[in-house]
Amino acid sequence: MNEREGCALLKERFTAAGLSIEEHVRFAEEGLDVTLDGFDPSQRIGYEYVTTEAGDRDAITPEVVAALEARMLRGEMFVLLVDERDVPDPAALRFAADGFLEILRQRGKIA
């Protein structure tokens, strides 16, 4: 699955969950500067499909991951970070997305 296919699948799952996903959103706030594959700015929920093809491994550094995780722990935003190496096929990526979205439903972040 390439970058385009993975991002299309994620956008479909997040949109089906009621989110208004914008593609390739630059998020620059409080020292964190990253471009996300998809993001709903009003809900502050999005995703990044990390692929070698897109050069994401240079941008999604351990420092960026730590900053995103800290903001998620504080409930300020929620971003699914999924590496192509961890999802061998569309079914696995769909499973990861749906699991993430279900957690947000359980926490009352989405309907």
Domain containing residue 40: 3-106
Angstrom CA distances, 95 to 22, 24, 31, 41, 91, stand at: 21, 22, 32, 24, 6
Q: Is residue 111 part of a domain?
A: no
As for how many domains the chain has, the answer is: 1
pLDDT attached to residue 11: 98
Neighbouring C-alpha atoms within 13 Å toward the C-beta of 68: 22
Q: What is the CATH number of the domain that holds 12?
A: 3.40.960
Q: Are 48 and 56 in contact (CB under 8 A)?
A: yes
* SS3 call for 19: coil
* pTM recorded for the entire structure: 0.96
Q: Is residue 21 part of a domain?
A: yes
In terms of Cα–Cα distance, which of 109, 108, 97, 34 is closest to 69? 34
pLDDT attached to residue 58: 93
Give the tens place of pLDDT for each residue, 41-92.
999 999 999 999 999 999 999 999 999 999 999 999 999 999 999 999 999 9
Q: Are 22 and 41 in contact (CB under 8 A)?
A: yes
Q: Is residue 82 part of a domain?
A: yes
- Sheet containing 32-40: which strands, arranged edge to edge? 22-29, 32-40, 45-50, 78-83
